[in-house]
Structure 1
């Protein structure tokens, strides 16, 4: 269980895992089938197949239907790629492997595409090392995944080809909408060089991961406290939880919040409520570009944390603990207030609930000082980019396979297809075998809203996707008494955490982090030095080792170490005023 939870919380793998776990404990899901979905991909493999057309360079292209989803290569074409996953994670059936599984067979049977892998790297770090060697040697596979720096280098070296034509011709409407929903024009702009689309963005869902407020409802009840309406109320509750024995054990052993050695992550909303966004490049209230690190409102939050440290309201060893160690105080029942994404009920709250089955958590939007939801900082929803080598004769194959991923992973309502291509009956994550994928912004929010409608009687089970029916099965299991499924009810159950994010969406309570490209020159040389210096001084201010009378000295020191120069370079790089 611990291994599964940890894997689900790894950056973008988290989003995919939540998106893929919709088959219940046994992966069976429900019995309903989407109206109008009359054929499986295998049954439909010959549909819409026509004679290949000849392009202007004389190479065969697959036929394309009106929405880019139809067509099959004839004869079969082989495409090569690489991937950053180990074979052990793929959920193979008996006799299957990397190049023989449900997804590779689907691509061959339906599209005439034979997917071959040059190599597989077990970690992201090793993937980048091996890929950089391939790039430096000029030995590229047909298509592969890169980061922004690699993309820029490949464009400059003229090693990859534009994808405007194949995207325009083959990308389905669903695929286009999915890619653009998270960041609109900025997503596609990030792929453009000299007006040409040089990559397909591997989109994510940062807006969907906006931080929510979780509060122990049983502790509120013990102290006769009401749910907070403003950030002042949140702070008052945190202090009460740290000082008034909310667990009624007669021991002064509880804390206000979870805080780790990186400071701004687990308590980011405390800064957001003050209009400060440390680490995000935004236009401040004064109209100037800032990352929030030296702003006066950041200082005010650090002063609050210093007050809590002096009073013993936060773990006195917080600065020695990474996020995993910091969350142990919550798992062990010593913290009753936490900021986190919609997925946090899986971890750290489910392990805590396992230890205290009578406990429960209220989940709500984080209120600002004025009572309105705080404005969350978010980054451009791109975790990587797919590119096609200049020698790849059939780049349209990338888009055709991506269309299939989008349809099966996000829009399928057939339980048989869910078990075959997403999660098997045993729960194996078959979806990991897809050769190319992107993540859909707000998918989990929609699941939460749909399931809320189902329990309110506004949707039938048949109207839910296969994934959503899987969540319903888990929620029903919890309602029948299975406490191990508590987290799924808290995430996707009626008015659960996922659905709560809709409030942020409705109010557009987001501020964009303008820094989404390559690091600037000064950032490359001075960035790590500045980061270490900032963290060292924040820690000293919180722990009282440095007086806040010296805040201006810190600011001047930080600016002189290259911060002002980096801001100027940001302004020039993104064509922002400063």
Structure 2
């Protein structure tokens, strides 16, 4: 529901909007304690409701009478609305009175109203006020910290019976992804206190983009191992691949946020900075303290010394560091599947003949590379305790699932398709008007499959109509249209590379900050980042890592870890 959660998964987004929201979602963002288990992909004031509403609670209603998509009689539901941009509503419409809310009423018999509709920077404060005053909407989105507080205060409905009795197979494919892993942050003792707000599972999965024209000039081959990738980066920095006779090219992009570009490199050494990894006994350990970090930091210190990474990276955040990439001065970018849409789409515009080829991150010595990927949940949709019709949430999610799977036999999906065709709403991003939103975790993998099949068959008529516009952009890019180059690279190269990893490492901590984490988490993170940067730039020897690890634990890191493990034990 929040902006950073709206990543590259929405059908109706336009290219620029998609690229920007995707970029916003690309940060690993794991240090706040959202999730690290290894998972094998192959296995692995509220208004009262309407008096005449006939839908019963699932434990009282025979299963054969349940309609999982629509109430028999109108039911009033009060939501909390995050308003992305009030200016996109046409004249006569607003967050509480618009075509989407009317469609919801017509297709589900849910009569939606808003307890409040505010920008997200004010949204969470309103939720906190509602918790403090026990005056909450009926159904609303909550971040992990607020979910934890709501559960502690016994303010939420248990949705497990609702899920079991009302959720359709398609909803279970979305919410039950990874054998129910997505429920973890809202699960206590077998009860589900929220439904996960799901986005595409590929967000945060590393993809390596390499300047193909530079490889061709140097006579270089595609790297097969991590060592070969680093060797290629060195050649890009030292052998003048742009041919201007100046030492102004770099092998790798890096920034002072130590984001995916940093963590993906550390993952090659079996180190998982900024996330909590479970050991064989199920106990959490902090990945940034793994001794294998020293190998990765030594490698980066060598690259910095040799000029393979920008000597000014310590002064640049992620967007600023992308300027060198856009200017065509960087040979290798560790990005995500959507990176061709930003920042790589600017490179061919700025440098004649520039082109990229992509690949998954290779493993050290040819071993399997196991990346840390953020769990694809940004928070939870919850129902206040005492609301008479918690199944309303499931009806909404069931209809959204039908839309995600392009089932136009479904009344909601058909109405949604027609609404998206209305030129009045062409640039309104009406998906953001929904009070509840989910997407398929395999949304972009599904697009890749649809598009490759269409290329083989020579027709796009077998794919859902809402995918054809994007496919036509991909097709134009494949045929050499520079304006659509990025669409082709994203869906036919970036997506399959991002989805190729057999083993994913997830953050093992789903909860919000512990009591000590609230007090000391920020200062500990600053200590961590400053230590790593000092080692990389040569201001501290790599041996200082051991002193850092001890200081980190002594200053509160061990206490935070103990609190997390104790909390996990109590939740079983």
Normalising by structure 2, we get a TM-score of 0.85
The reply on whether 1:52 has 2:49 as its aligned counterpart is no
The reply on whether 1:519 has 2:519 as its aligned counterpart is no
State the match for 2:330 in structure 1. 335
The reply on whether 1:241 has 2:236 as its aligned counterpart is yes
Three-state SS of the structure 1 residue aligned to 2:6 is helix
Q: CA deviation at 1:94?
A: 5.3
State the match for 1:105 in structure 2. 102
State the match for 2:153 in structure 1. 157
State the match for 1:148 in structure 2. 144
State the match for 1:271 in structure 2. 266
The reply on whether 1:262 has 2:257 as its aligned counterpart is yes
Q: Decide whether aligned partners of structure 1 residues 480 and 280 sit closer, same or farther in structure 2, where only a CA change above 3 A counts.
A: same
Q: CA deviation at 1:170?
A: 2.0
Q: Decide whether aligned partners of structure 1 residues 557 and 24 sit closer, same or farther in structure 2, where only a CA change above 3 A counts.
A: closer
Identify which of 5, 13, 34 aligns with 2:6.
13
Deviation string 1:76-100 (CA, Å, 9 cap, x unpaired) is 22211112223437x4455433233
Q: CA deviation at 1:375?
A: 0.5
State the match for 1:215 in structure 2. 210
CA distance in 2, matches of 1:551, 1:513: 22
The reply on whether 1:224 has 2:224 as its aligned counterpart is no
Q: CA deviation at 1:536?
A: 1.2
State the match for 1:537 in structure 2. 531
Q: Report if the CA contact (8 A) 2:273-2:288 is conserved.
A: yes
Q: CA deviation at 1:23?
A: 10
1:404-443 correspondence to structure 2 within 5 Å:
404-412=399-407, 420-422=418-420, 425=423, 426-443=426-443
State the match for 1:449 in structure 2. 449
Q: Report if the CA contact (8 A) 1:86-1:120 is conserved.
A: no
Identify which of 393, 397, 403 aligns with 2:392.
397
Count, aligned residues: 531
Q: CA deviation at 1:417?
A: 5.7
CA distance in 1, matches of 2:465, 2:546: 57
The reply on whether 1:303 has 2:298 as its aligned counterpart is yes
Deviates further, 241-250 or 161-170: 161-170
Q: Report if the CA contact (8 A) 1:406-1:437 is conserved.
A: no
State the match for 2:37 in structure 1. none
CA distance in 2, matches of 1:555, 1:209: 26
Listed as ranges, the gaps of 5+ residues in structure 2 are 18-51
CA distance in 2, matches of 1:250, 1:435: 57
Deviation string 1:459-484 (CA, Å, 9 cap, x unpaired) is 85232223432221112333455422
Q: Report if the CA contact (8 A) 2:9-2:200 is conserved.
A: no
CA distance in 2, matches of 1:57, 1:348: 52
The reply on whether 1:566 has 2:568 as its aligned counterpart is no
Q: CA deviation at 1:105?
A: 1.7
Q: Report if the CA contact (8 A) 2:473-2:488 is conserved.
A: yes
Q: Decide whether aligned partners of structure 1 residues 370 and 87 sit closer, same or farther in structure 2, where only a CA change above 3 A counts.
A: same
CA distance in 2, matches of 1:428, 1:517: 35
CA distance in 2, matches of 1:56, 1:148: 27
Q: Decide whether aligned partners of structure 1 residues 82 and 289 sit closer, same or farther in structure 2, where only a CA change above 3 A counts.
A: closer
CA distance in 2, matches of 1:554, 1:469: 53
Q: CA deviation at 1:542?
A: 1.2
Q: Report if the CA contact (8 A) 1:241-1:256 is conserved.
A: yes
Q: CA deviation at 1:352?
A: 1.9
1:548-563 correspondence to structure 2 within 5 Å:
548-563=542-557
Q: Report if the CA contact (8 A) 2:69-2:396 is conserved.
A: no
Q: CA deviation at 1:288?
A: 7.3
Deviation string 1:354-409 (CA, Å, 9 cap, x unpaired) is 22352111011111123245101134332111111224222221111121112123
Q: Decide whether aligned partners of structure 1 residues 244 and 23 sit closer, same or farther in structure 2, where only a CA change above 3 A counts.
A: closer
Three-state SS of the structure 1 residue aligned to 2:275 is coil
CA distance in 2, matches of 1:516, 1:131: 20
Deviation string 1:424-443 (CA, Å, 9 cap, x unpaired) is 55344222222211232121
Q: Decide whether aligned partners of structure 1 residues 464 and 277 sit closer, same or farther in structure 2, where only a CA change above 3 A counts.
A: same
Listed as ranges, the gaps of 5+ residues in structure 1 are 1-6, 26-49
The reply on whether 1:121 has 2:118 as its aligned counterpart is yes
Deviation string 1:475-523 (CA, Å, 9 cap, x unpaired) is 2333455422211111123xx211223321xx2x211210111322332
Deviation string 1:76-132 (CA, Å, 9 cap, x unpaired) is 22211112223437x445543323333212211122111111222212x32111111
Q: Decide whether aligned partners of structure 1 residues 209 and 557 sit closer, same or farther in structure 2, where only a CA change above 3 A counts.
A: closer
**4+ residue runs of structure 1 moved beyond 4 angstroms?**
22-25, 53-58, 63-68, 284-289, 412-419, 421-425
Identify which of 285, 305, 317 aligns with 1:322.
317
RMSD, aligned CA:
3.1
CA distance in 2, matches of 1:371, 1:56: 53
Q: Report if the CA contact (8 A) 1:145-1:387 is conserved.
A: yes
State the match for 2:345 in structure 1. 350
Deviation string 1:186-243 (CA, Å, 9 cap, x unpaired) is 3234322343222112123345531011101111001110111000110011111111
Deviates further, 94-103 or 392-401: 94-103
